[in-house]
Amino acid sequence: MNKNGIIKWAARILILLAAAACLTLGFMNHGFQDVKNKAIRICYECIGIG
Amino acid sequence: MHISGRRYTQLIAAVLYNCNFRGFVTGEIYKGEVKGICTPGLNCYSCPGAVMSCPLGSLQTGLLSSKYKFPYYILGTLLLFGLICGRFICGFLCPFGFLQDLLHKIPTPKLKKNKVTRILSYAKYGILVIFAILIPLIRLEPGFCKYICPAGTLEAGIPLVIRNEALQKLISFLFSWKVLVCIGILIACVFIFRAFCRFLCPLGAIYSLFHPIAFFGIRVDPEKCIHCNACIRNCDMDVKRVCDHECIQCGKCKKHCPVDAIYYGAGRRSFSKKEKLKQTDS
C-alpha cells in the first residue's frame, strides 16, 4: 500500500472511532431522546409557520 | 419501459422513510420510538408519513441548544453515514433526490452543465455554513428549515396545512415564501438535473466532504481506464473526475465507459494522485 493509501485508511479509522465516540456520548447525554422529542412534535419552522 | 435498480432503491428508501401511511389520512405525525433514528437522506420529520428524523433538521435543532448540550449524537450519525456511503446516499437513498430525478424526466429542453453551474455548485457550502450552522448558533432558529428547505414544505407543510384547520389560521408570509421557494426549486429541477442537490443542499455538502475516504462508492480501475473522458462528458453533475465531491455515484458513467473500468466497490480508491491528474488533463 502506498503512502496515500495508508493516510486514507488512517483517516477512515480515526473518523470511525470519532463517530463511535460521538454516538456513545450522544446516547449518554440523551441526544437520541432529544432528537426524538423534537421529531415527534410538528416543527413549525420546517412547515413554514414560523 | 426499463426501470433501473437505482430507481427501485430510491423508491424503497422513500417508502421506508415514510411508511406511516395512516398519518397522510389523519394529518398527524408519527410519535414512535424509532423517530429518534436519523435517515441518511433528506426527509422532513414533520412529514405525516415520516417514521424517522431528518439529519439536517436534527443537526440544526442540536446546534440551537449546543450552548448547553453538544449534539454528539447527530454529529456521530453524520460522520458514520458520510464515512460509509458519502454521496452514494444522494444518488440512492434520498427521497428528494428521487423526486428531482423524476422531474428531470419530463421532456423539456435541458440546461447542460457549464462553467456557471460549476461555480454555482459551491453555493451549497455557503448555505451549509450560513443557514445550517451560523443561523442556528447565532439567531437560535433552524435557518435552512425555516427559510429554504423545499422538502419540509412539500412533505410536511403542504400536507399538514391542507389537513389541519388550526394550522391554516397560522399561515403567514413565511409559508408563502417557502411555497414559492419550493415551486421555484421544483421547476428548476425540470430543466436542470438535480438543481437542488447541486446548488443548495447542505446535506449533500456535508457528505461531499467524505468523498476521498468513503468506504463504499464508485471506483475506476486504473489498469482498464483509457482516459477517454466519456464518463465525465456523459455525467449530468458538475464533476471533474469520477467520484469527486460532486459525484452522487448514480452510475451513469458506468454505462458509458467503453472498457468497463468503472464499478461499485468498497475500500481504497484505485487511482493514484498522478493518474487522477492525468485523467483531468486529458
The low-confidence residues of chain B, meaning pLDDT below 50, are 272-274, 282
Give A14→chain B minimum CA distance, Å.
10
pTM for this entry: 0.91
> Any chain A CB within 8 A of the CB of B75?
yes
First to last CA, chain B: 36
Amino acid B281: pLDDT: 53
Average pLDDT over residues A2-26: 92
Give bridge partners of residue B59 from the DSSP assignment. Answer: none
B31 chain-A contacts, CB cut-off 8 A? 40
B69 chain-A contacts, CB cut-off 8 A? 29, 31, 34
> Any chain B CB within 8 A of the CB of A7?
no
Give the rounded distance of the alpha carbon of B6 from its chain centre: 15
Residue of B34, B42, B45 to mutate, interface with A, max A Cβ within 10 Å: B45
Q: What is the ipTM of this complex?
A: 0.94
Q: How far is CA B243 from CA B201, B209, B268, B269, in A?
A: 18, 12, 12, 9
Q: How far is CA B154 from CA A29, B40, B48, B149, in A?
A: 33, 19, 11, 9
Amino acid B272: pLDDT: 47
Cβ neighbourhood burial of B44 (10 Å; 0-12, 13-18, 19+)? buried
In chain A, which residue's Cα lies nearest the Cα of B60? A35
> Any chain A CB within 8 A of the CB of B80?
yes
Positive/negative CA dihedral, A15, A19, A25, A31: positive
Please list, residue by residue across B244-276, b when 16 or more beta carbons sit within 10 angstroms of its beta carbon and e when fewer do.
Answer: bbbbbbbbbbbeebeeebbeeeeebbbbeeeeb
**Helix (H/G/I), strand (E/B), else coil: B262:** strand
> Any chain A CB within 8 A of the CB of B213?
yes
What lies within 8 Å, CB to CB, of A46 at 6+ separation is: B44, B45, B46, B57, B142, B145, B146, B149, B152, B156, B157
Q: Which of A1, A15, A48 sits opposite B213 (nearest CB)?
A: A15
> Are residues B41 and B101 in contact, defined by beta-carbon separation less than 8 angstroms?
no
> Any chain A CB within 8 A of the CB of B77?
yes
In chain B, which residue's Cα lies nearest the Cα of A4? B272
**Helix (H/G/I), strand (E/B), else coil: B254:** helix
In this prediction, residue A4 has a pLDDT band, given cuts at 50, 70 and 90, of confident
Amino acid A43: pLDDT: 86
B160 chain-A contacts, CB cut-off 8 A? 42, 47
Q: Check CB contact under 8 Å for B145 and A35.
A: no
Hey, which residues 10-39 in chain B have their CB within 8 Å of chain A?
Answer: 29-31, 33, 35-36, 38
Phi, psi of B137 (to 5 degrees): -75, -40
